[in-house]
Amino acid sequence: MLRQARAEAAVQGVDNVTFIEGDARDLPCLVSGTVDQVLKPGGRFVVIQLVSDPPRANHGIGAPRGPRTDMRMTPESVLDAVRLAGFEQLQAVDLPPFHYGILLAPA
pLDDT of residue 102: 96
- Please indicate, yes or no, if residue 7 is contained in any of the structural domains: no
- The closest of 27, 13, 18, 21 to 75, measured between CA atoms, is 27
The whole-angstrom distance between residue 34's C-alpha and the CA centroid of its chain comes to 14
Specify if 83 maps to a domain.
yes
Q: How many domains does the chain have?
A: 1
| CATH code for the domain of 88 | 3.40.50.150
pLDDT of residue 105: 94
* Domain assignment of residue 41, given as a range: 20-106
Amino acid at 57: A
Report the C-alpha gap between 55 and 59 in whole angstroms: 6
Give me the tens of pLDDT residue by residue for the chain, a chain 107 residues long. Answer: 789 889 999 999 999 998 888 887 788 888 888 888 889 899 999 998 888 876 665 666 666 567 777 888 899 999 999 998 899 999 999 988 888 999 999 98
